[in-house]
Amino acid sequence: MKVQFSFKLFLAFILFSILLFCAGIFLSYKTFQVKIEQSRINSFINKSNFFEKELKKIVHINNNILISISKSNSFKDEHIDSLFKEIKVLMLSNENIVDLKIIKKDGKKILSLEQNNKEIKEKPLSLSPRIYYYLNSEQIKKNELFFTEPYLKSLNNEVVMPIKPLIDFVLKTDSKIIFLSFNIDDFIKSINKMKYLIDKDLNIIYDSTGINSWSYYYNPDLNIRSVVEGFSNKIFKKSFSFTNKYYFKQIFIKNLHYFTLVDANEKTSLKSFFFENKDSFYSIFFLMAMISFILSMLFTTPLSSINRKLESEKDLLTDSIKRNNLILNDSLELLNQHVMFIKFDSNFVITDVSNYFSRVSGFQKEELIGQNYTSILNKYSIKIFNAEISYILKNTGTWSGELISIKKMSSDYWVKSNIQSDVDENDNIIGYTEIRSDITDNKRIERLYNDLNYQIEQLNAIVQNANSGIALLDLNGNFRRFNEAFYKLLNYNENEVVEKTILDLVDSSSIELLEKIMKEVKEFGSISNLELVFQSKNFEEVHLDVSLKVLPDKKNIVMVVNSLEDKRKLQELNQNLEQRVEEEVKKNMEKDKLHQEEQIKNAKLTSIGTLSAGITHEINTPLTYLKGNFEMLIMDIEDLEDNPMKEDMLINCEKITEAINRIAVIVESMREMSQTSTETKEKANIFATLFTSLTMAYNVSKQVSKVYLNNKEFTPTSIDKNDFKIYAKVQKQRLEQVWIIIINNALDELKNNKEYEERKLDITVFEEKDEVVVKFCDNAGGIKEDIIDNIFEPFVSSKTHSGMGVGLNIAKKIIDEQEGKILAYNSLNGAIFEIRLKSQE
């Protein structure tokens, strides 16, 4: 046993040494790999930065060339000879400039030069599709450099050999466009040890193998997605990215993506790393094996003793575990067969259910495992679980309550649920166990009990609140129950009636009749509408209408009694009905007369409006003629020699001009007021509607009171209707009708209460948040307190000499139609009418 254990211990140390050795190799490899990977990334980024620097250098050089040409006086004045000499010097200084063209915006050539082997010569201009694009493209902005993707020089749709990769640089001025084609062959060859160069459309420009270079021309169906694995769904969130096989770097010029550099990501394998350092690893392994052997020899004896003790304890523990497992398995089987339990993880996904739950619900265990816990709840309980229970479980770990669960083949059922969390050794919740019991029968009994109680409460409420007296009697006339109306009919209280029988409550003259009725009810089942004389508590006779009916149990009788006083009152009402009807008819006739007068007035106003429309049209023509000729007359007068008569004539002309302008304003206001309303809402200037209404009322208002509009005294010529622009969406003519009603009411009150110099009507219109507010403030003393609350009701008025009291009612209806509000209240000096409308920009 000792030798065997020593051998096991030695093997354990050897195995530990091997694992430690392998872990060391792996960690060394990972450290080496990270350093190499970072070094390669830095090398790739440096090469990419060089590429980007060279590309920007090309852009900068060509930009300077184009700008220097555009600023040349020869270019501006189109001196062809001088311009040719200047451009020739520029092209000879840079042999990569292939050709240069200067064209007017209409497509006419100014200059077209080509360089070949440092020889500059002029060539005919061919308006190719590329040239047309440069002339008409909106992407090319004036005085802003534009350049294209790389392309190969071609002739008649054939690539010119040897291959010349070009980029076009374009500069547009006010009247001319400069085109420069630049050879980037040297630039592309500068890509040292790069795998691919790609344009923004993913076409391969350069391939280090030479196979796929310029794929757009030689193989249009091929792009970088076809040759680089992992590029198909690549989205660059940064300019640099990499995969296990490739590095990617995007080059941006002027915020536009033009190139992507791709290089291979070559990794050193673990195998090659091991064989490169195998001598060092073999020495380390031999040393660790020797140390393991020595340690195993030192620890063999004490560990053997401990091992024997542990083996003995292990055998005892194994026997105990087997016994407990048998007991536990029996208990679990009982739970599985007779208790509903469900296990689900921390995400509420079911992991196990008991057989008893499967039998009750109808779901097989295989159908439920993997489903969310809410899949076994009805819609109502799902909402509760998601909104409340899941939150409680995640925070406290336990929940107890009632839920509605579903069955596979039948109706839902109620359960009493107790959910307890399952935790790991760190007290982290890893799942939940639910123990539930079916309480559907209890719920049904509870529901029936509640329904029965509800019906009883309903019946009691009906009985107690009935106007008729209702009593429940046994066959001997003793009271079982009665409502409040029953004993109040006889002026008794509840306790006094309980001590009596029905025979005790009737008058002595009706006892014999009631006894006879009781017998007949037992025989025939019911008797209705009999008049009996009862005796009240005060020994007064009470005549009641009585109906009796035997209940189905044949043991109780329901008595319903009604006072006959109602019949007498009804007779009295019938006698007075004719007189009341006559009075109401008379009142309605008076109201109809007032309504008819109002309709006649409205018809007259409509006719006047139509007449006004015609009059304004007829006045406008001679008024225009008069105004034009009078202006000519004034010019003739101004040409006269200066003398007192000329001055008097000019003063009189000024007065006549003011009168003509006033007539024009009045005619314009009459035209606006007489326009036929479309009954549709439109955007209208509220200040202008007030101007129109005040103009129409001016002949009256100037005799009564001074009127101020936005703090300025109103006359038709002193204020322009567009001085303020405050808009709302309204029916304009209807709103002007409201202004005239309120203005006329204010003028009537001012005329009756104050002297002219003391009278004042102040109208203000302004915007407040999203509302237009119009206020009419007078100093006529205010509205009487007894009518202020009903001021907008029809036929309510403070006038004693005129008016039917319907104007403000009409005004309120119109404002309501405009979805606004109208208020009336008093201030210190008088009344204020405030109208609020929704504003519109």
Question: What are the pLDDT digits (tens) for 28-38?
Answer: 666 766 777 77
Structure-block tokens of residue 311: 């083996």
Q: How far apart are CA 375 and CA 142, in angstroms?
A: 66
Residue 822 pLDDT level (bands cut at 50, 70, 90): very high
Instruction: Verify that 257 and 271 share a domain, yes or no.
Output: yes
Mean pLDDT of 727-748: 88
Residue 784 pLDDT level (bands cut at 50, 70, 90): confident
Mean pLDDT of 189-200: 78
Q: How far apart are CA 825 and CA 791, in angstroms?
A: 10
Last residue of a domain, one of 563, 588, 622: 563
Q: How far apart are CA 52 and CA 43, in angstroms?
A: 14
Which residues sit opposite 685 in a β-bridge? Answer: 727
Buried b (16+ CB within 10 A) or exposed e, 732-766: bbbbbbbbbbbbbbbbbbbeeebeeeebbbbbebe
Q: How far apart are CA 492 and CA 191, in angstroms?
A: 117
pLDDT score at 367: 86
Instruction: Verify that 26 and 120 share a domain, yes or no.
Output: no
Mean pLDDT of 170-191: 85
Q: Is 230 helix (H, G, I), strand (E, B) or coil?
A: coil
- Which residues, other chains included, contact 515 with Cβ-Cβ below 8 Å and sequence gap of 6+? 503
Range of the domain at 100: 77-190
Instruction: Verify that 396 and 494 share a domain, yes or no.
Output: no
Instruction: Verify that 819 and 771 share a domain, yes or no.
Output: yes
Burial grade of 242 (CB within 10 A; 0-12, 13-18, 19 or more): middle
Query: Could you tell me if 709 and 690 are in contact, meaning their C-beta atoms sit under 8 angstroms apart?
Result: yes
pLDDT score at 399: 93
Q: How far apart are CA 84 and CA 75, in angstroms?
A: 10
Mean pLDDT of 715-726: 87
Q: How far apart are CA 238 and CA 261, in angstroms?
A: 14
Last residue of a domain, one of 129, 164, 190: 190
Residue 611 has pLDDT above 80, yes or no: no
Instruction: Verify that 148 and 290 share a domain, yes or no.
Output: no
| Angle 800-802-804 from CA coordinates, rounded to 5° | 95
pLDDT score at 718: 83
pLDDT score at 433: 92
Query: Could you tell me if 438 and 417 are in contact, meaning their C-beta atoms sit under 8 angstroms apart?
Result: no
Query: Could you tell me if 194 and 214 are in contact, meaning their C-beta atoms sit under 8 angstroms apart?
Result: no
Residue 223 pLDDT level (bands cut at 50, 70, 90): confident
Mean pLDDT of 658-685: 65
pLDDT score at 665: 61
Q: How big is the chain, counted in residues?
A: 841
Mean pLDDT of 697-725: 87
Residue 642 pLDDT level (bands cut at 50, 70, 90): confident
Which residues sit opposite 709 in a β-bridge? Answer: 712, 763
Q: 560 — alpha (psi -120 to 50), left (phi > 0) or beta?
A: beta
* 369, 386, 611 from 361: Cα distances, Å: 14, 22, 86
Residue 332 pLDDT level (bands cut at 50, 70, 90): low
Element spanning 753, H or E: helix 732-753
Residue 772 pLDDT level (bands cut at 50, 70, 90): very high
Q: How far apart are CA 265 and CA 779, in angstroms?
A: 93
- Asked whether residue 460 is assigned to any structural domain, the reply reads no
Q: Across the chain, what does the average pLDDT equal?
A: 79
Which residues sit opposite 541 in a β-bridge? Answer: 535
Instruction: Verify that 350 and 470 share a domain, yes or no.
Output: no
Which residues sit opposite 712 in a β-bridge? Answer: 709
Instruction: Verify that 559 and 583 share a domain, yes or no.
Output: no
pLDDT score at 598: 54
- Asked whether residue 316 is assigned to any structural domain, the reply reads no
DSSP 676: P
pTM of the model: 0.34
Q: What is the number of structural domains in the chain? A: 6
Residue entry with tokens 């009996």: 532
Query: Could you tell me if 100 and 179 are in contact, meaning their C-beta atoms sit under 8 angstroms apart?
Result: yes
pLDDT score at 727: 92
pLDDT score at 139: 77
- Which residues, other chains included, contact 407 with Cβ-Cβ below 8 Å and sequence gap of 6+? 360, 361, 362, 413
Mean pLDDT of 651-671: 68
Residue 1 pLDDT level (bands cut at 50, 70, 90): very low
Query: Could you tell me if 204 and 198 are in contact, meaning their C-beta atoms sit under 8 angstroms apart?
Result: yes
Lowest-confidence region among 240-244, 285-289, 683-687: 285-289
- Asked whether residue 334 is assigned to any structural domain, the reply reads no
Q: 803 — alpha (psi -120 to 50), left (phi > 0) or beta?
A: left
* 78, 430, 760, 780 from 754: Cα distances, Å: 88, 90, 10, 7
Find, among 47, 37, 49, 89, the residue nearest to 68 by Cα: 89
pLDDT score at 804: 45
Indicate the angle between helix axes 732-753 and 807-817, nearest 10 degrees: 150
Lowest-confidence region among 52-61, 183-192, 273-282, 357-366: 273-282
Residue 627 has pLDDT above 70, yes or no: no
Q: How far apart are CA 105 and CA 137, in angstroms?
A: 12
Q: How far apart are CA 329 and CA 351, in angstroms?
A: 19
Element spanning 130, H or E: helix 129-136
- Asked whether residue 451 is assigned to any structural domain, the reply reads no
Q: How far apart are CA 13 and CA 288, in angstroms?
A: 9
pLDDT in tens, 307-326: 667 777 777 787 777 777 77
- Asked whether residue 315 is assigned to any structural domain, the reply reads no
One-letter amino acid identity for 532? L
pLDDT score at 739: 92
Residue 819 has pLDDT above 70, yes or no: yes
Half-sphere exposure (Cβ direction) of 328: Cα atoms closer than 13 Å? 6
Structure-block tokens of residue 147: 């350049």
Instruction: Verify that 429 and 483 share a domain, yes or no.
Output: no
Query: Could you tell me if 278 and 29 are in contact, meaning their C-beta atoms sit under 8 angstroms apart?
Result: no
Structure-block tokens of residue 540: 């007064």
Residue 678 has pLDDT above 50, yes or no: no
Residue entry with tokens 């008379």: 586
Q: How far apart are CA 404 and CA 384, in angstroms?
A: 10
- Asked whether residue 459 is assigned to any structural domain, the reply reads no
Residue 501 belongs to domain with CATH number: 3.30.450.20
Query: Could you tell me if 683 and 649 are in contact, meaning their C-beta atoms sit under 8 angstroms apart?
Result: no
Residue 559 has pLDDT above 90, yes or no: no
Last residue of a domain, one of 609, 635, 667: 667
- Determine how β-strand 760-768 pairs with β-strand 771-778: antiparallel
Query: Could you tell me if 704 and 751 are in contact, meaning their C-beta atoms sit under 8 angstroms apart?
Result: yes
DSSP, residue by residue, 366-412: HHHTTSBGGGGB-HHHHHHIIIIIHHHHHHHSEEEEEEEE--SSS--
Half-sphere exposure (Cβ direction) of 628: Cα atoms closer than 13 Å? 6
- Asked whether residue 323 is assigned to any structural domain, the reply reads no
Query: Could you tell me if 431 and 422 are in contact, meaning their C-beta atoms sit under 8 angstroms apart?
Result: yes
Residue 776 has pLDDT above 90, yes or no: yes
Q: How far apart are CA 364 and CA 354, in angstroms?
A: 10
Instruction: Verify that 711 and 820 share a domain, yes or no.
Output: yes
CB atoms near residue 715 (< 10 Å): 14
Find, among 31, 40, 35, the residue nearest to 265 by Cα: 40
Maximum average pLDDT range among 180-184, 317-321, 651-655, 837-841: 180-184
**Residue ranges in 78-122 assigned as alpha helix (H):** 80-92
Structure-block tokens of residue 127: 């308006």
Instruction: Verify that 690 and 816 share a domain, yes or no.
Output: yes
Burial grade of 367 (CB within 10 A; 0-12, 13-18, 19 or more): middle
Query: Could you tell me if 502 and 593 are in contact, meaning their C-beta atoms sit under 8 angstroms apart?
Result: no
Which residues sit opposite 180 in a β-bridge? Answer: 100, 169
Instruction: Verify that 5 and 34 share a domain, yes or no.
Output: yes
Buried b (16+ CB within 10 A) or exposed e, 174-184: eebbbbbbbbb
Lowest-confidence region among 498-502, 554-558, 650-654: 650-654
* 300, 591, 806 from 584: Cα distances, Å: 124, 11, 21
Read off φ and ψ for residue 822, nearest 5 degrees.
Answer: -130, 130
Lowest-confidence region among 355-369, 454-468, 822-836: 454-468
**Omega prior to 552 cis, within 30 of 0:** no
pLDDT score at 709: 92
- Asked whether residue 447 is assigned to any structural domain, the reply reads no
pLDDT score at 2: 45
Residue 677 has pLDDT above 50, yes or no: no
Instruction: Verify that 117 and 236 share a domain, yes or no.
Output: no
Residue 805 belongs to domain with CATH number: 3.30.565.10
Mean pLDDT of 420-432: 88
pLDDT score at 221: 79
